[in-house]
Amino acid sequence: MLSHLTHHMNRRPQRFALLEQIAVQGSITRAAKAAGLSYKAAWDAIDELNNLAGHPLVERSVGGKGGGGARLTQEGARLLALYQRLEALREKVIESAEQVEDLERLERLMLQTSARNQLHGEVVIVEPKGHNDLIAIRLPGNLQVLAQITHESTERLGLKPGRSVIVLIKASWLSLHERSPANTANVLEGCVDTLTPATSGPAEVRLSLSNGQTLCALLSEEAELSPVPGQTLFVCFAPDQVLLGAPL
């Protein structure tokens, strides 16, 4: 329990680790190295920070050394200071591994996306595939999902074995089958919970997985299936149809 608690306390989101290092180093190259990012991933993270904040948090500095100078703007320095104060308060509040797990649950519960299906899992394997990575994710109950994302995305999310992730899949990306298809990367077996007909467009099928998680799939009017509650179906989707999110 102590090792799990220590690991959580020492973990810093790469975006904020990068901000901290930019404030110290004044160089993107040195800051990226210290934060465990490539030069490109560092600038991608800076672009995202600037876009999400609504105001630039980092700006290039003229005459910087080591492959590109940068400094925090006034807004960036203020937000970094606030983040550091919040981290200090978090460390005072968390006293046990159980509280760490509860905090991680709260982080997942606060996530909102447009994807209907959101599953919690843990990275078990990161396998390079050219410019992409194949990420094996273990869901509760030892179910597994494969996701294919770019190597830059893997770096940006800090994905490695043991990393907690959110698996996002749009309902329209799921296909339903009465039998398990061969040569399909992602196949999950589920039991039809409810079927919601639509006045226009596809009907919605809600399935319960063996681990207690649920998936929602869309059934078009042209589909040959006629699901009924209690029926076992197989849900299929490609690895490149899986989006991943990681808590800060």
CA 129 distance to own-chain centroid: 19
Per the structure, the count of domains in the chain is: 2
Domain boundary among 86, 107, 128: 107
φ and ψ at 122, to 5 degrees?
-135, 135
The answer to whether residues 98 and 191 belong to one domain is no
pLDDT digits (tens, 9 = 90+) for 118-140: 888 999 999 999 999 999 999 98
pTM: 0.66
User: What pLDDT is stored for residue 7 in this prediction?
Assistant: 41
The amino acid sitting at 31 is A
The answer to whether residues 123 and 225 belong to one domain is yes
CATH number at residue 97: 1.10.10.10
pLDDT digits (tens, 9 = 90+) for 49-96: 886 677 789 887 655 444 557 889 999 999 999 988 888 887 777 665
Domain boundary among 107, 142, 159: 107
What would the two tokens of residue 220 be?
């078009």
Compute the distance between CA of residue 26 and CA of residue 88 in angstroms, rounded to an integer: 24
pLDDT digits (tens, 9 = 90+) for 4-62: 433 443 445 778 889 999 999 998 889 999 988 888 788 878 877 886 677 789 887 65
The amino acid sitting at 114 is S
Compute the distance between CA of residue 134 and CA of residue 240 in angstroms, rounded to an integer: 9
For 176-218, give the secondary structure using H, E and C: EECCCCCCCCEEEEEEEEEEECCCCCCEEEEEEECCCCEEEEE
φ and ψ at 230, to 5 degrees?
95, -15
CA 41 distance to own-chain centroid: 16
The answer to whether residues 132 and 228 belong to one domain is yes
